[in-house]
Amino acid sequence: MAPDMSLFAVNAILILSTDDSTRILAKYFSSPHPPAHGGSNYPGANPYPNLKDQKAFEKGLLEKTAKQTSDIILYDNRVVVFKMESDIMLYVVGGAEENEILLYNVILALRDSLNILLKNSTDKRTVIENYDLVSLAIDEIVDDGIVLETDPMVVASRVSRPPAQDINVKGIDLSEQGLLNAWEFGKSQLKERLRNGL
């Protein structure tokens, strides 16, 4: 086993606008527990700790990938996998020794789950309007740089909003006595579950 191996495969997930070269969404990951030997150059360390470094990296990355025909490049000693969707660019950034196939699966999972969630309308405006869904999708795919899920159907099912249903409030007793009855019922159900060991 290589000494630099780590579960922390992803350094960053970025969604950048190709129109005006601005950041739409950026998540930089760093392992929560650095090794005891210290230093900032360990597997899973955030290579861009401040906003100035992040913006410079993103600007250079967008310039570099604007004219590329491939999906994988080596930039700033990082493996970068990217996909273009209408007027945005999706990026997954990993370490130089990282497995490109794993990173490619992450970018495909992100792209496909966004297409499912946003109904094949993955553009800047739709991403901004559905920022909550996009952010949750990224959180379902990667947590603290660790890849959790790469199946877009699973990601979309965990993130999607429940269908809007008409709630019939006519049958709900909202009087003081009705609320007290609901409270007592909930308390009794909790006691029963605790007795049975959940």
Does 4 reside within a domain? Answer: no
Same-domain pairing of 126 and 194: no
Q: Domain residues for 187? A: 166-198
Buried b (16+ CB within 10 A) or exposed e, 158-185: ebeeeeeeeeeeeeeeeeeeeeeeeeee
Q: How many domains does the chain have?
A: 2
State the CATH number of the domain containing residue 118: 3.30.450.60
User: Do residue 170 and residue 153 come from a single domain?
Assistant: no
Tens of pLDDT, residue by residue over 13-47, are 999 988 888 889 999 887 666 655 555 555 556 67
Could you report the per-residue pLDDT of 112-152, keeping only the tens digit for each? Answer: 999 988 888 888 899 999 899 999 999 999 988 888 988 89
* In a shared domain, residues 105 and 173: no
Mark whether 138 and 194 lie in a shared domain.
Answer: no
**CA 102 and chain centroid, separation:** 15
